[in-house]
Amino acid sequence: MRALIVSDLHSNAEALRAVMSRVRRKRIDEIVCLGDFVGYGAEPNQVLDVMRNIHGKKLYIRGNHDRVAAGLDEAESFNPPARQAALWTRGRLSGPNRHFLRGLPQGPRLHEGVMLCHGSPYDEDEYVFTEHHAAQILALYDAPVILYGHTHLPVVFSIDAHRQVSGVAVRDEKTYRLNRESRYLINPGSVGQPRDRNPAASFAVFDSKRFTVQFFRVAYDIEKTQNAIVKAGLPRILADRLTYGT
Ligand SMILES: [Fe+2]
């Protein structure tokens, strides 16, 4: 399996376009999306049209924003700007995109030894930030690789043969050679709303044969995305934060 791993696209069509053009000439067998296709941004239908129609085997799961935008849940736990954007999205989805969003499976999903989840394997709304938390998850699940999103922070946590857990925040572009004796909990970062103070779209390519994960960052037209958010009448902060990657 050589898979493109994306997460937290958040209705940012420009960022998704930049990611797709970066991987155009790479060999990709599968496309994994760890949820939050929509929310925050102003281009939900553009993002969903791309993700629905893309060639290749698709392994998708839903995120918390998808659940609300699909009308499967209310946004009670959301902060006000997130809630406003999720409900705005709900009212603007095309028929096929609403149907697609409603049908997205909830994680965890297991594929060839790789587990996919949005927040954590046992709670799609849970944020995994710390080594301590990663250690709990790596003790509960024995998949060699668990991929997750939700925090919008690219990171590699690992547990080795001596049960030593460590975590590395990924800065910029980097390739990790994984160890077959270890197990991993990996976040590709966010395509549409990075939060590690790097505004470039973040994604990864996982190669199960070579056992490598490559992290990428691509610049995109942030101003265009911001203009669309402001024009849609969505909260200004959702546009502004894209400048800083926060
Ligand atoms: Fe998200």
According to the model, what pLDDT value does residue 17 have?
A: 98
Task: Of 46, 81, 49, give the one whose Cα is nearest residue 65.
Answer: 81
125-131 long-range contacts, Cβ below 8 Å, gap at least 24?
A: 125/64, 125/77, 125/150, 126/150, 127/151, 128/185, 128/187, 129/153, 130/167, 131/157, 131/165, 131/166, 131/167
State the distance from the centre of ligand 1 to the C-alpha of 67, rounded, in angstroms: 12
State the distance from the centre of ligand 1 to the C-alpha of 177, rounded, in angstroms: 27
Domains of the chain, first to last: 2-244 (3.60.21.10)
51-60 pLDDT, tens digit per residue, is 999 999 999 9
- Assign 141 a pLDDT band (cuts: 50, 70, 90): very high
State the distance from the centre of ligand 1 to the C-alpha of 160, rounded, in angstroms: 29
According to the model, what pLDDT value does residue 240 have?
A: 98
- Mean predicted confidence (pLDDT) in 221-243: 98
State the distance from the centre of ligand 1 to the C-alpha of 223, rounded, in angstroms: 20
According to the model, what pLDDT value does residue 156 have?
A: 98
At residue 206, what is the residue type?
F
User: What is the share, in percent, of the chain residues with pLDDT greater than 90?
Assistant: 97
144-180 pLDDT, tens digit per residue, is 999 999 999 999 999 999 999 999 999 999 999 999 9
CB crowding 44-73: b at 16 or more within 10 Å, else e: bbbbbbbbeeeeeeebbbbbbbbbbbbeee
State the distance from the centre of ligand 1 to the C-alpha of 181, rounded, in angstroms: 31
Say which DSSP state 192 is in.
S
Q: Give yes or no for residue 3 having a pLDDT over 90.
A: yes
State the distance from the centre of ligand 1 to the C-alpha of 185, rounded, in angstroms: 17
Whole-angstrom CA distances from 3 to 20, 166, 198 are 13, 24, 23
State the distance from the centre of ligand 1 to the C-alpha of 166, rounded, in angstroms: 24
Whole-angstrom CA distances from 85 to 34, 119, 195, 234 are 20, 20, 18, 6
- Assign 45 a pLDDT band (cuts: 50, 70, 90): very high
- Mean predicted confidence (pLDDT) in 194-218: 98
| Element containing residue 88 per DSSP (H, E) | helix 80-90
State the distance from the centre of ligand 1 to the C-alpha of 7, rounded, in angstroms: 8
| Element containing residue 65 per DSSP (H, E) | helix 64-69
State the distance from the centre of ligand 1 to the C-alpha of 33, rounded, in angstroms: 12
pTM equals 0.97
According to the model, what pLDDT value does residue 1 have?
A: 86
State the distance from the centre of ligand 1 to the C-alpha of 161, rounded, in angstroms: 32
According to the model, what pLDDT value does residue 246 have?
A: 93
177-204 pLDDT, tens digit per residue, is 999 999 999 999 999 999 999 999 999 9
Rounded distance between C-alpha atoms, residue 188 and residue 5, angstroms: 7
Q: Which residues pair with 183 in a beta bridge?
A: 159
State the distance from the centre of ligand 1 to the C-alpha of 190, rounded, in angstroms: 8
74-88 pLDDT, tens digit per residue, is 988 999 999 999 999
State the distance from the centre of ligand 1 to the C-alpha of 144, rounded, in angstroms: 24
- Assign 95 a pLDDT band (cuts: 50, 70, 90): very high
State the distance from the centre of ligand 1 to the C-alpha of 162, rounded, in angstroms: 33
